[in-house]
Amino acid sequence: MSNKDIAIVGLGYVSSLGSGIETFYNKIDQNLPTTKMDTYDPDGFLGKRGFRYFSKATKMYCNLAFQCIYQNKVNDVVELNKDRVGLYDGSELSNIEDGFVFDLVAKHDGPELVSPMSTPNTIANAAASQMAIQTKITGPNFSINGGTCSAIQAIDIASMHLKEGIVDCAIVGSTETISKYHKAIREGENRETKLPIANEYGVSIALERVETALENEQSIFGIIVGVISGQSYKEQSHENLLAFLIQELITNNGLTISDIDMIMVGSGAHNIDGVTLSSEISKTLGEIPKLFFPEMVYGNGDNAGGLTSILYAIGLFNKQLKEAKGYFIKRTIQTEGIEITPINAIVATIDKTGYTVVTLIKKYN
């Protein structure tokens, strides 16, 4: 195993069904529906005082980050050196409702009548910054705005900081929130998809260098082997770019297409055509492994799908998920699951602009 590999040592999930990774796997296995959340900090990590004016995205991100920290000895690493811990929020649209409300009040009633307590919620980095305040973490603090690619971009930056020795632990989270403003944006995009729309939920993972995780005798759920990104050029199709990046990622890591057990379009599936993608991958790589669209089961959203697909892959790695759903067959996405225990899985995300991020996830041992 390369010393550049990054270990996944903590997992978090929250939705209307509750919190914790088992909640996510139960949702997938039993096809449980989710709704708008009643509370965004169901575990009460933030306490009961002083949080009235926090945005729901901030509350959700903090809950997710706390989940990651307080499991698998991640807390030991965090408490040892809080200036060596990074917080990364891969969410672009989660605070948009708060920004709209702030601007509308200022326009309608005048700037002097806008509540100053609402101001932090209009800042792009509000969620990760608030988590830093709550925990006194003083390492890098980032929000990544890349549309459907946001979550995997956040992993890419966090992995770079780990490899360069800037941090010893990275907490990456992404959230999906719903409001009339989110719905208006989705309608304005004219998404042509039969995938179900994602409801409110959030996902997080904790990352460390493999050697750090082994030294601290931590559980390792999976390995981030590599990340690669690109932008479509001129008349290049999204599907052609995606196939090219998958080829580059596989080649750069000394693998062949036969080593890849599944490719998941984890976020932004509405921006590509499955038939065309299958054809492009087949032309580029000579053959195509099993292709999945897991948004079929957790919903087509704005931010978190890429990170959710990593949880999905981990569940299959460790047999916490019974079957893999969202399998692409000819021209349709199969709703019933198939049995698969992958060793190597690729998670791809693609924005409507053609920007694409692809990551290779590997089962540990």
Q: Of 15, 30, 100, 99, whose CA–CA distance to 60 is shortest?
A: 15
Domain pair 6-215 / 225-362, same fold: yes
Strands 355-362 and 327-329: unpaired
Neighbouring residues of 242: CB distance < 8 A, sequence distance ≥ 6: 272, 277, 280, 281, 348, 350, 356, 358
Mean pLDDT across the chain: 90
| Residue 207 burial (CB count, 10 A) | 26
Digit-coded pLDDT (tens) for 297-338: 999 998 999 999 999 999 999 999 989 999 999 889 988 899
Model confidence at 54, in pLDDT bands (50, 70, 90)?
Answer: confident
Q: What is the pLDDT of residue 110?
A: 76
Helices (H), the chain: 21-30, 56-69, 74-80, 96-109, 126-135, 150-163, 180-189, 210-215, 238-252, 274-285, 295-298, 305-317
Q: Are 161 and 167 in contact (CB under 8 A)?
A: yes
Closest among 123, 244, 186, 10 to 132, alpha carbons compared: 123
- Give the pLDDT mean for 122-147: 88
241: Cα separation from own chain's centroid: 21
Name the burial class of residue 254, with classes exposed (0-12), middle (13-18) and buried (19+) by CB atoms within 10 angstroms of its CB: exposed
In sequence order, the 6+-apart residues with CB closer than 8 A to the CB of 234 are: none
Domain positions in the chain: 6-215, 225-362
- The predicted model gives 188-196 an average pLDDT of 83
Task: Write the CATH number of the domain with boundaries 225-362.
Answer: 3.40.47.10
12-33 confidence digits (pLDDT tens): 999 999 999 999 999 999 999 9
Q: What dihedral angle (degrees, nearest 10) is formed by the CA atoms of 333, 337, 340, 344?
A: 40
Please state, in angstroms and rounded to a whole number, the distance separating the CA atoms of residues 200 and 207. Answer: 24
pTM tops 0.85 = yes
Q: The CATH number of 6-215 is which of 3.40.47.10, 3.30.390.30, 3.40.1160.10, 3.40.50.300?
A: 3.40.47.10
Residue, of 122 and 38, whose pLDDT is higher: 38
Token pair listed for 239: 């599907």
d(CA 85, CA 167): 5
